[in-house]
Amino acid sequence: MLATVASLVQALEVARLELGTNATLVFDADGTLWSGDVGVDLFSAVMERGAIRELAVPQLQAEAQAAGVDPELPTVDLARALLRANELGQYENARAFAMMAWVFAGYSEQEMLQFAEEVVLDVRLRERSFDYARTVIAWARTREVAVKICSASPRSIVEVGARAFGLSADDVIAVTPAVLDGVLTPELVPGPLPYAEGKVARLREHLPEAQLLGGFGDSLADLHFLQLCAVPVAVKPAAALRKVVASTPRMLLIDGD
């Protein structure tokens, strides 16, 4: 059913009293804390600036071959072709989301954070943030309920976006490139990608003692972790998730504004 912010908070309060300690809220980030996809925002910015570094190119070419894209294209054209292949369903989401993080291979950790900060300002992410989320997070603080983000977007930009909600890097689980001598590499840290079933695995890994009080997702891929939450919330859901909402009595629907 379509919930108001007040009824959502009330449902969370009732569930909190039932769960007791270690109650935690988990947001997917894109589509639940803000509109749009910050991973795509970040990837679009590095293409527009022609700022993909040489260290990422061999792995980009390998991804192109796997996706049926010409690996001999110039670097920026290659990146655009991979994005297009993903949009057409020819390059699977999990690989695309991973690529959008490790494509910054060659950047220092500080350069990566600075780039993400610039993109957050350029795309006006604060203006795209949802008021309902601010209200829910404010309520969580008054009840000593932890708030975490589990996202398939790159960690750098999710961390920066999270600051607007008073959340820190410690509150973020996201796609994270491996680092060698302070420089990002064209691969990820070991572990499942926080997407679909992988999101459940990462939550269990990072929050083994948490009671999942509320979960906020917007796509069918989020259903895996939403089903673990006492109060699952579909935020402006995509069509596939919206169909599930109709057949799941305990799942709340909120418009995100």
Three-class secondary structure of residue 70 per DSSP:
coil
Query: Residue 257 pLDDT > 70, yes or no?
Result: no
Q: What is the torsional sign of CA 73, 74, 77, 82?
A: positive
Any idea where the domains of the chain sit in the sequence? Answer: 5-254
Candidates 205, 190, 198; CA nearest to 93 is 198
**Residue 256, pLDDT score:** 67
**Residue 18, pLDDT score:** 93
Per-residue confidence band for 12, with pLDDT thresholds at 50, 70 and 90: very high
pLDDT digits (tens, 9 = 90+) for 83-98: 999 999 999 999 999 9
Three-class secondary structure of residue 162 per DSSP:
helix
CA angle, 248 then 211 then 6, to 5°: 55
Q: Any idea which architecture 5-254 has in CATH?
A: 3-Layer(aba) Sandwich (3.40)
**Residue 20, pLDDT score:** 84
Per-residue confidence band for 31, with pLDDT thresholds at 50, 70 and 90: very high
CA distance 207 to 183: 28
Provide the whole-model pTM.
Answer: 0.94
- Mean pLDDT (whole number) for 136-157: 97
Q: How many residues are there in the chain?
A: 257
Neighbours of 97 (CB within 10 A): 25
Q: What percent of the chain has pLDDT over 70?
A: 99
CA distance 251 to 11: 11
Mean of pLDDT over the chain: 95
**Residue 137, pLDDT score:** 98
For residue 100, CA distances in Å to 28, 79, 174 come to: 17, 9, 12
Per-residue confidence band for 1, with pLDDT thresholds at 50, 70 and 90: low
Would residue 176 be called left, alpha or beta, if left means φ above 0 and alpha means ψ between -120 and 50 degrees?
beta
Q: In terms of pLDDT, which residue wins out, 244 or 170? A: 170
Per-residue confidence band for 247, with pLDDT thresholds at 50, 70 and 90: confident
pLDDT digits (tens, 9 = 90+) for 46-76: 999 999 999 999 999 999 999 999 999 999 9
Give buried/exposed letters for 127-161 (b at 16+ CB in 10 A, else e).
ebbbebbeebbebbeeeebbbbbbbbbbbbbbbbb
